[in-house]
Amino acid sequence: DAGVTQSPTHLIKTRGQQVTLRCSPKSGHDTVSWYQQALGQGPQFIFQYYEEEERQRGNFPDRFSGHQFPNYSSELNVNALLLGDSALYLCASSLAFRAGAFQETQYFGPGTRLLVL
Amino acid sequence: AQSVTQLDSQVPVFEEAPVELRCNYSSSVSVYLFWYVQYPNQGLQLLLKYLSGSTLVKGINGFEAEFNKSQTSFHLRKPSVHISDTAEYFCAVKRAAGNKLTFGGGTRVLVKP
């Protein structure tokens, strides 16, 4: 049973560049959430995708955008990178009962560590 | 909105000693509660969860947690730690009707021989 996978594992970018991170959910899951974990802090919710639409969003600027594909995989895009975007980006998957109702447990991938110079 | 406070940022403990990690939460609605563990350079692994029912929840690796509604707490315990328990531990809450996890700041456990 494949768990949540993320790529790449590490990434180095410079300020102003754009980055795309990828996530494949756990087998059987249809909902993907993205979190940002700055060094020494707990993860912060960025947004969640279900049925190829952004369903819920945390307190992140529009520079952060995403996409979900028909196979439930997802991308996180960050434009105009800032030094403060350096963090571990975690993807979590879960299963929806229906729109707005989800199984209680989210399963996390290993993360993508982004360094912005 | 929900919030989570983990009262200890670091907890040093000797091998085979007990450990307790404290977590308090704030929410105006019913929530589910979780503890996740993060080993160095890895993602988050679910240790245990409280949804309803018995307030004492047992998880993997010998961990357990107790939900206390009146004190809005969900403290994590292990009676005897191993070196391999060295990691960061995160308490998280989720609205019963939602899908967003709100995390505490984490507690770093360092198990000493």
Q: What's the average model confidence in pLDDT over A31-49? A: 95
Which of left, alpha, beta for A56 (phi over 0: left; psi -120 to 50: alpha)? beta
Smallest CA–CA distance from A112 into chain B, residue: B43
Instruction: Name which of A46, A42, A114, A37 is nearest A83 in CA terms.
Output: A114
* Residue A65 pLDDT greater than 80, yes or no: yes
pLDDT tens for B76-92 read 999 999 999 999 999 99
Whose tokens are 């979780």? That residue is: B34
According to DSSP, the residues that pair with B33 across neighbouring strands are B50, B93
What does the H/E/C string look like for B19-80?
Answer: EEECEEEECCCCEEEEEEEECCCCCCEEEEEECCCCCEEECHHHCEEEEECCCCEEEEEECC
Checking A53-61 for CB contacts under 8 A at 24+ apart, the result is A55/A99, A55/A100, A55/B99, A56/B98, A56/B99, A56/B100, A58/B100, A60/A36
Q: What is the pLDDT of residue A25?
A: 96
* Nearest chain A Cα distance for residue B17, angstroms: 25
Place A1 in a pLDDT band, splitting at 50, 70 and 90: low
Tokens of B108: 């770093």
Q: What percent of chain A has pLDDT over 70?
A: 94
- Would you call B43 and A110 a contact, using CB atoms and an 8 Å cutoff? yes
Between positions 60 and 89 of A, the ones with CB within 8 A of B are: none
Q: How confident is the model at residue B5 (pLDDT cuts 50, 70, 90)?
A: very high
Per-residue pLDDT of B9-62, as tens digits, reads 999 999 999 999 999 999 888 889 999 999 988 889 999 999 888 899 999 999
pLDDT of residue A16 exceeding 70: yes
Kindly state whether A92 is in contact with chain B, defined as any CB-CB distance less than 8 angstroms.
yes
* Whole-number pLDDT of residue B101: 93
